[in-house]
Structure 1
Amino acid sequence: MFTWTQTITAKVLGVGLLALLMLIPLGQINGLVAERQALRDDATARIAQGWGGAQTIGGLVLAIPTQEQVAVAGTTTTATRMSTEIVLADTLSTTANLTVDKRKYGMYEAPIYVAEVHISGRILPEDVRTFEKASNATWLGNKAELRLLLRDAQGLKDISVTIDGKPRRFASSTDRMGEFSVVSLPVDLAAQGDTPVNFTVVAHIAGTESLRVLPLARSNTVDIKAPWPDPSFAGALLPTSRDVRSDGFAATWHMLDLNRDYGQHWDAGNDKVDTRLAASAFGVDLYQPASVYQQNERAGKYGLLFIALTFVAFFLFEVLKRLRVHPVQYLLVGGAMATFYVLLLALSEQIGFGWAYLSAASAVVLIVGGYAAAVLDTWRAGAMLGGVLALVYAILYGLIGAEQYALLIGAIVLLAVVATLMYLTRRTDWYAYGLPTSTRTTETP
């Protein structure tokens, strides 16, 4: 007995529902990719914990204790309030040469480096006098200190400093400036007189994935070099010049005090400046282009589309060849294609994304092609569907690799697919499909 479930409309709705049902395993797979990415990030954090994290360096800055008599609320007495005034340098020149390597934690790896950093600059005595005159507090210049700021002091492997040509030595400090650790050395401004404080710092700093510099002067010049072919220039300022090659990069930044949102001096207790200080950093991240998790995530975004295209291919064979394919068989094909993403993720962590993609795609093409040949009872149909699926995976690989042109390529491919479907079904009598044989009209060739 002929029922409405045998109509083409019911079949199309059923296939569409099955395609939407595949969102469940695809969602689980996307969650698995995010979980593995989190494990990789945790491994990177553990590497950084033992080696040195993402580094930010800045300095030297002048820290001057101040004292001021303030009235005690509700009384006629006064009390001495102690604070620290921060004064920045007039000029800073920072050069960093990075030696880069990769460190593994389990099966995960992250780029690490040791940076040989040279910092030179000067602090002007007239700046100190000008800022002191504008203050109501008494500045204790004989108790001042020079501070070097560093995000992760654990990564500091070696450091030397000269002040006015004389070698000095840093000492550890419990003080912090915002989120930055501090090493310091004392300096007597009274003995310095009208002579600028000229300094040179040479440090070897270990870090992971990122190096940034704080613009703690009126005029800041920064040069960073590393044998890394894929730098990502990040932070508050892009380099004024850069040279990126397959064997490494070199970049130069120049920043003025006018380009940042804090001045040449402030009270060390100013929380707003502490926040702005970190936001003003700039530098480079050792970017790993299209990591396996990024590539798996991109592949998953097209999962439903390509499963739907495969269902459409099966549906066309069913319509054009007058065959019958059961919904369970559609589900099995969809399950095989969903398994592709799990296999791709698992293999890409071990052998790299390219080989993993080839292996997973080949396995699914063979499985689906062989299954189609058995279901449709013709090896030709199975070979054709396998070829279509192989083409689909080739297109998907191209979309994953084309970061900037993925949308354009995807739109063209989708238009081509729709045009092909319209061409192949241009003479199909959709009203006749699914009707009993005795009631079908003869199709005009």
Structure 2
Amino acid sequence: MEIHQTETNNKKLLTWFKSSITAKFVITGALTLLLMIPLSLIQDLIKERETRQQDVVSELNDKWGNEILLYGPILKVPYKTYQESVIFNEVTQQTEKKQSTQLKYAYFFPKTLDINADVKTTLKKRNNYETTVFAADIATSGSFEIPDFSSKSIAAEDIVWEKATLEIKTTNLKGLKSEVKLNLNGNTYNFETKANGNSQLDALESSFIALEDLPNTTTRSFDFKLAYNGSKSIRFIPIGKLTNVQMTSDWKHPKHTGSFITQSKRTTENGGFEANWKLLHTNRSFSQQYFRVLPNLNQYAFGTDFIIPLDEYQQSERAAKYGFLVIGLTFLVFFLIQTLSKISIHPFQYLMIGIALIMFYTLLISISEHSSFFKAYLIAGTAVIVMITLYSKSILKNLKFPVLIGTTLTALYSFIFVIIQMENYALLVGSIGLFIILGIVMYVSRKIDWGFDSAQPVVG
């Protein structure tokens, strides 16, 4: 009798489980969470491929030329300092004073500094990976005023003018494609590489400046040109009392960065940009001259990053972040159709649909490595939508619901594509879209009875 009662209760429990909306919803939710495991593996795959891309890009950039940080010229003038020491003379048994002379260096920045940078960009590819590199022609001109040694009480006779030089600080010496020559007061001075010591920047130093070219009695003008192969960015440090920088390029996606904003910028006819910076010495918190040690001024750099705003891996990663939303909403559509139409859908069929949705991301990554992201997204999305629509036709036994599912998936994938293309308005558009989707789901599900129906088991 007890065995028969147990079997009866089990049958009632199974009947309730098959017909209960709540039970079906729980199973659908559990399958959605289960599919997060392969989705997380897909996200790991995207990161792995992106890391590989970054390694290849770094190798390409290193061979072509890395980022550029440039400032100079700097007038470097040695001066004498004296130090007295007391020594004991063992012969006379008396102490004696001895004076030693040491050379220290004073550094003076230009009075005016005008920089004109013309940058031409090129896409470099290796296998499935690409990076942006550029060739930059940088023309610099300006003037030096008479150095002021009075603030340190340095006597005129202690200034070693005949050993004064000029220095240019820069990165990416490998990318330099021209000899470094500077015209000062009508005469040309060559530069040689100098050991950078602990500095992050390399130094180029000129030969000794002729006395007649020095700004020791009057202002002297200078100009020089540099040609670089570089990548990633170009930045400058505003060491002039008045610094003017103009940069033009054919790159369509500039990102102006650093401690100072552009004075003006505009888009050129070829889709590139023209940007201008104008800075006074009062706009920054460092001096026009330094004695003994030249500080690290990298924090004051400004310029432009030449970046690809969203490459295929970044876009694929952003698309995968919406994977939970796609799977959850697709299952929700099937669940609502199943509930409202009383058509039975087996958990295995939900699983097949979920795996098809996961396959979208593997198709997207693999195709985008050989084509544009848009084409990859279109091909992968179309393939998955057609597959799920045809599969749902065999499940739902009519044409109306499969068309609804195909239309819903098309709208959902289109919505996600729009979001991942945006940068500034992605959160706003995504929030509005999700709010509308929530409203539609609430409206469609408003008449569903979530309580236990008549088939619920009675144990006793």
How high is the TM-score relative to the length of structure 1? 0.89
Shift of 1:28: 2.2
Q: Does 1:355 align with 2:368?
A: no
Match of 2:445 in 1: 425
Point out where structure 2 has 5 or more consecutive residues left out of the alignment.
Answer: 1-10, 89-96
Write the letter of the residue equivalent to 1:221: N
From 318, 322, 333, give the equivalent of 1:298: 318
1:8-63: CA deviation from partner (whole Å, max 9, x where unpaired): 22322222232223322222222222222222222221122111111111110122
Superposition pairs of residues 11-410 of structure 1, within 5 angstroms: 11-70=24-83, 83-125=104-146, 127-133=147-153, 139-158=159-178, 159-175=180-196, 178-188=199-209, 191=212, 192=214, 193-245=216-268, 247=270, 248-267=272-291, 269=293, 273-274=295-296, 277-410=297-430
Point out where structure 1 has 5 or more consecutive residues left out of the alignment.
Answer: 440-445
Write the letter of the residue equivalent to 1:419: G
For the Cα contact (< 8 Å) 1:333–1:368, is it kept in 2? yes
Shift of 1:207: 0.7
- SS state of the match for residue 336, structure 1? helix
CA–CA distance in structure 1, aligned partners of residues 439 and 335 of structure 2: 16
CA–CA distance in structure 1, aligned partners of residues 328 and 177 of structure 2: 56
Q: Does 1:436 align with 2:455?
A: yes
CA–CA distance in structure 2, aligned partners of residues 268 and 36 of structure 1: 49
Shift of 1:294: 2.3
- SS state of the match for residue 110, structure 1? strand
CA–CA distance in structure 2, aligned partners of residues 268 and 131 of structure 1: 14
CA–CA distance in structure 2, aligned partners of residues 130 and 301 of structure 1: 63
Match of 2:91 in 1: none
Task: Calculate percent identity across the aligned residue pairs.
Answer: 28
1:271-301: CA deviation from partner (whole Å, max 9, x where unpaired): xx31xx1111111122323222222122122
CA–CA distance in structure 2, aligned partners of residues 154 and 362 of structure 1: 47
Write the letter of the residue equivalent to 2:353: V
For the Cα contact (< 8 Å) 1:368–1:386, is it kept in 2? yes
CA–CA distance in structure 2, aligned partners of residues 180 and 73 of structure 1: 40
Which deviates the most, 29-38 or 251-260? Answer: 29-38
CA–CA distance in structure 2, aligned partners of residues 319 and 171 of structure 1: 80
- SS state of the match for residue 157, structure 1? coil
Write the letter of the residue equivalent to 1:355: K
For the Cα contact (< 8 Å) 1:372–1:382, is it kept in 2? yes
For the Cα contact (< 8 Å) 2:142–2:221, is it kept in 1? yes
Write the letter of the residue equivalent to 1:163: L
Larger Rg: 2
Distance change in 2, residues 1:398/1:238 (3 Å): same
- SS state of the match for residue 44, structure 1? helix
- SS state of the match for residue 247, structure 2? strand
- SS state of the match for residue 206, structure 1? strand
- SS state of the match for residue 196, structure 2? strand
- Give the RMSD, CA atoms, in angstroms: 2.8
CA–CA distance in structure 1, aligned partners of residues 230 and 394 of structure 2: 57
For the Cα contact (< 8 Å) 2:191–2:205, is it kept in 1? yes
For the Cα contact (< 8 Å) 1:89–1:218, is it kept in 2? yes
CA–CA distance in structure 2, aligned partners of residues 79 and 325 of structure 1: 96
- SS state of the match for residue 351, structure 1? coil
- SS state of the match for residue 177, structure 2? strand
- SS state of the match for residue 303, structure 2? strand
Which deviates the most, 245-254 or 52-61? Answer: 245-254
How high is the TM-score relative to the length of structure 2? 0.86
Shift of 1:267: 4.5
Shift of 1:105: 2.5
CA–CA distance in structure 1, aligned partners of residues 444 and 54 of structure 2: 48
For the Cα contact (< 8 Å) 2:189–2:207, is it kept in 1? no
- SS state of the match for residue 154, structure 1? helix
CA–CA distance in structure 2, aligned partners of residues 238 and 254 of structure 1: 9
For the Cα contact (< 8 Å) 2:143–2:222, is it kept in 1? yes
Q: Does 1:9 align with 2:10?
A: no
Which deviates the most, 72-81 or 206-215? Answer: 72-81
Shift of 1:268: 5.8
Which deviates the most, 334-343 or 418-427? Answer: 418-427
**Higher relative CO (CA 8 A, sep ≥ 6), structure 1 or 2?**
2
**Count of matched residue positions in the alignment of Structure 1 and Structure 2:** 433
For the Cα contact (< 8 Å) 1:176–1:182, is it kept in 2? no
Which deviates the most, 109-118 or 30-39? Answer: 30-39
CA–CA distance in structure 2, aligned partners of residues 329 and 78 of structure 1: 95
For the Cα contact (< 8 Å) 2:266–2:275, is it kept in 1? yes
For the Cα contact (< 8 Å) 2:12–2:456, is it kept in 1? no
Which deviates the most, 23-32 or 112-121? Answer: 23-32
Distance change in 2, residues 1:326/1:145 (3 Å): same
Which deviates the most, 229-238 or 71-80? Answer: 71-80
Distance change in 2, residues 1:34/1:427 (3 Å): same
